[in-house]
Each structure stands twice: as C-alpha cells, then as structure tokens.
Amino acid sequence: MLTIFELIKFSFGSFIWGLLMAIVIMALFFVLLSVICSNSRFSPLTYIACGVLGLLITSQCILICGGFKVLGYVDDIRVEVTELIDAGVEAGRNAGVSPEQIAGHISDEYPVIKRFVDVGSLDAGSLSAMPQIIADSVSEGVKSYMVRRVWWILGFIVVGMAVAVKTTVRHRRPVMPGTGVGTGNIPRIYGGKGPRMPGSSRRRL
C-alpha cells in the first residue's frame, strides 16, 4: 500500500493539496452537522470524534492527491521504457531485455510507482508493446487505488456523522423557579388578559 511518507518524499505538493482538500471536506461536514443537530450543542466527545475524523480524511486526501501526481508520470514512464528497449535492440541485446529488468529500472527511477507495475502482464505482450502495457498497468492501478481512497472517505464521513450526532447534547428548556415547569408550557397571553381561574370572578348583585 502506498504510504503518506512515501508520497511526501515523492511530492510535498501532494501533502499541501491533500490538506486543503480535507479542510474543505471538514468545513462542509460541520455545516451539515450543525443543520442536523440544530437543537443540540457539541460536547467534548463530539469535538474529539470530529478531530479523529479530520485526521483520517486528511490522510486519504493526501493519498488521492498523490495519485494524481503519479498519473502525471505515466507518459514519462512510457517514453523511458521505450528508450530502454531501443537501447537494448541497438546493442543487439533485445533478447536480454526482460520484463523483470524493465520493472526493476522503473522501480529504481520511480520508487513510488513500483507497486503498480504488474510484471505478470508484461509476459503476455511483445517487446514493442511493453511501454504501453506498463503505462496502462500503472494508470489502471493508480486510478483503482484512488477510487478506494474515495470510498474510505465516504465511509469515514458516515461513521463520523453517526458518532458526532450521538455525542451531542440537546438543549434544555429553562425552568420557572419553584414550579419545575418549563417556560414552553406557559400559556401565551393576548391583550394583557390571561386565562381566568375558576371562582376568580364574582357575579354582581
């Protein structure tokens, strides 16, 4: 699995863009949470849950941005493999250029991409088709990796929202002193006249 530390070493820009993406997602998350829990307030556990969620989402966003960066090197890989094969053919060593050697060369030049190079798929193609086969293998592998990261983010958001809602505290109605009754239960008075109590008025003689 591609790690964050490998991506930071490969491209620090992926870390910055991933962090910005996570901030936007968490901002939208808080807006949605505020709408859902409009009658509640956040507890310390709510903030802790949101903090953990933010870290998880940030890690996945960094990996997604790193995937975009890797995809930008697919054409360079295709050209480099083509040059490697041409150099072997010109030297009369085309039979000695094996898929393992090509995969090893790519791994040395682009260590972060080596896990996406499918050596098994290279045996099925001819020597001239190897550059395109390798490029397609890397491209498909990276795209599949990025899609899995998106699904992880969606899963984290669903679980995080459920936990955050569960840890919120509902607002309590203020209670009238000595009555134990919430102010929401007091009948509204219109025109300065409140409800009459039985026996409060006498018949005039």
Domain that holds residue 68: 4-170
108 inside domain: yes
101 inside domain: yes
For the stretch 69-121, pLDDT in tens is: 888 888 887 887 777 777 655 544 545 566 677 777 777 777 777 777 766 66
133 inside domain: yes
d(CA 161, CA 156): 8
pLDDT of residue 83: 77
Q: Identify whether the C-beta of residue 53 lies closer than 8 Å to the C-beta of residue 160.
A: yes
74 inside domain: yes
12 inside domain: yes
**pLDDT tens, residue order, the chain (205 aa):** 555 566 666 677 888 899 999 999 999 999 999 888 888 788 889 899 999 999 999 999 998 988 888 888 888 878 877 777 776 555 445 455 666 777 777 777 777 777 777 666 666 456 677 778 888 888 888 899 899 999 999 999 999 999 988 888 776 655 555 555 555 554 454 455 555 555 555 555 4
pLDDT of residue 124: 47
Name the residue among 135, 130, 128 with its Cα closest to residue 113: 135
197 inside domain: no
Residues in the chain: 205
89 inside domain: yes
pLDDT of residue 46: 87
Encoded tokens for 107: 């791994």
What pTM did the predictor assign?
Answer: 0.70
Residue 30 dihedral angles phi and psi, to the nearest 5°: -65, -35
Say how many C-beta atoms besides its own lie within 10 A of residue 42's C-beta: 17
Compute the chain's Rg from CA coordinates. Answer: 32
| Domain tally, the chain | 1
d(CA 84, CA 86): 6
Q: Identify whether the C-beta of residue 105 lies closer than 8 Å to the C-beta of residue 84.
A: yes
203 inside domain: no
